[in-house]
Amino acid sequence: MARRRVQINRTILGAVALGVVVCLTLGTLIAVAMRAEGAGRLGPADWAAIRFTLWQAAASATLSILLAIPVARALARRSFPGRSVLITLLGAPFILPVIVAILGLIAVFGRTGLISQALGVFGIEPISVYGYHGVILAHVFFNLPLATRLILQGWLAIPSERFRLAASLGMGPSDIARTLERPMLREVVPGAFLVIFLICLTSFAVALALGGGPKATTVELAIYEAFRFDFDLGRAALLALVQFTLGATAALLALRVAIPGDMGTGLDRAVTRWDDTRLLRVQDVTAILLASLFLILPLTMVVLDGLPRLLTLPAEVFSAAARSVMVALLSAAVTLMLSLPIAAFAVRSTSRLVEGIGYLTIAASPLVIGTGLFIIVFPFVKPSDLALPITAVVNAAMSLPFTLRALVPALTAIERDYGKLADGLGMTGMARLRHLWLPRLRRPMGFALGLAAALSMGDLGVIAMFADGSNATLPLQLYRLMTAYRMEDAAAAALLLLALSLALFWVFDKGGRVDADR
């Protein structure tokens, strides 16, 4: 009886949260399609865009994951001073606004960037970052940190008792990889791959700027063009549906491949590893050093670029920053309200569809969501009145895939390990949430909320559709500074944005790791 009540509550809350997600994604798409005059048609250029989109997303995701595995393994195996700061810093590229990241990357990898200059000293030709490899490089830069974090979560979720047992059985690194690490990867990697694939699917400005031209056209750009120049809502909606279908197919495939592992339960002790060799140490140090260089150099360039004007920024930039922090906090709160019920529902439901729907927000076109919401609210209220709340909700929906990726495996493990015990104790509803879930979800939840807040901070998102002159967010203000030729002020605003995003992420993430991570 008690068990049934839990189930009903969870089902209802989860279904409501899923409903919100479906309305935001498919609902807005339908709103746009209904407003269209006549159905759209896909031309040969659209098919080329679809092919390129799929190809670059798959390549970027594969490479990000392949590189992330050694880095995550190294971070999981080593403890050194500054490790937690490094882990936070490594997360930074992911939350950077696109325009800032592009300029940071170019400062390192561009024609006149650090690497080309260093090569020039030896009389070697400068490297070119523009082309397909540039797109992949940028996407790896954005997503390697996320992949590392997601895989690291998996590593840290292996109870330390398993490693003790392995050590007492005399297992070497390869035995541990076979019995403990590979099964964990099998569980974690498909989900991480999927998330990154979906992010790259909707990429647009990055692909264009570093792709070197129109060969690097993604579906999202075709949507933008249909909307902006042709005002062909039918075609925009059709393209959005294509993008959506690609995302959904990828989600179904990835979730099918993932095999839930069963590591059993531990006592949450810190992991000590006994399988250390000199070779492993060299491997790990190299992985950490290279990843740090790759990720932190462009960030350093952003910082150096922005420092000179930081203190003399116009007051409007700081008020926009305050507005952005509010939106980010609100967005984090909404994220929690959406993702926890969905995660709970997903764990109980036998169908993977629940989790799958949660992922779809990232495959939806932000432009179509914005336009659809505009069509829906315009008859009733002044759109600019809702600019900030709508931005917060859409941002929350956009970060769902990442938060679900962090929460669902953790909650699955909790229910698998302690669910029966909790049922036996009659622990349901709020009691179960407070005493079983929340304490054990703290780490993934801190990570998820930090990510949601930081992403919301840096996202230009739908605000451009709804803002009037007075309620700009920080990313929008950054664009405005650039449009007014104030590139140096814009660089300073970018630094402010980077610092605030990181601070928000750090506070939440730290909150989730107070006792667990030294």
- Binding positions for other proteins, 317-346, rule CB under 8 A: 326, 330, 333-334, 337
Q: Does 204 bind other proteins (CB under 8 A)?
A: yes
- Rule CB under 8 A: which of 240-259 touch other proteins? none
In whole angstroms, what is the distance from residue 441 CA to residue 435 CA? 11
Q: Do 144 and 96 contact (CB within 8 A), yes or no?
A: no
Interaction of residue 471 with other proteins, rule CB under 8 A: yes
Give me the residue label for tokens 């909606």: 237
Nearer CB in complex with other proteins: 203/412: 203
Site membership for other proteins, residue 212 (CB under 8 A): yes
Q: Least distance (Å) from other proteins to the CB of residue 163? A: 42
Least CB distance from residue 513 to other proteins, whole Å? 25
Which one, of 145, 146, 132, 151, lies nearest residue 57 by Cα?
Answer: 132
| Positions in 389-408 near other proteins (CB under 8 A) | 389, 392
Indicate whether 273 belongs to the interface with other proteins (CB under 8 A): no
| Interaction between residue 269 and other proteins (CB under 8 A) | no
129-158 residues near other proteins, rule: CB under 8 A: 130
SS3 content of the chain, % helix, strand, coil (to 5): 80, 0, 20
Q: Would you count residue 28 as binding other proteins (CB under 8 A)?
A: no
Q: In the bound complex, what is the minimum distance in angstroms from residue 241's beta carbon to other proteins? A: 19
Which parts of 32-71 interact with other proteins (CB under 8 A)? 35, 45
Beta carbon nearer to other proteins, 150 or 392:
392
Q: How far is the CB of 334 from other proteins (least distance, A)?
A: 8
Task: Look at residues 16, 17, 98, 24 and name the one whose alpha carbon lies nearest to residue 360.
Answer: 24
CB nearer other proteins, residue 157 or residue 199? 199
Query: Minimum CB separation from other proteins for residue 461, in Å?
Result: 13
Residue whose C-alpha is closest to residue 354's, from 6, 14, 29, 13: 14
Q: Does 111 bind other proteins (CB under 8 A)?
A: yes
Give alpha helix (H) positions in 361-473: 366-377, 387-424, 429-431, 438-458, 463-466
Min CB(249)–other proteins separation in Å: 26
What distances in angstroms separate CA 515 from CA 263, 268, 436, 512, one per listed residue?
22, 10, 17, 8
Residue 290 in tokens: 């290279």
* CA–CA dist 457, 264 (Å, integer): 38
Output 422-427 pairs: Cβ under 8 A, ≥24 positions apart.
423/2, 423/3, 426/2
Query: Contacting other proteins (CB under 8 A), which of 186, 273, 416, 486?
Result: 486
Considering the rule CB under 8 A, would residue 112 count as an interface residue with other proteins? yes
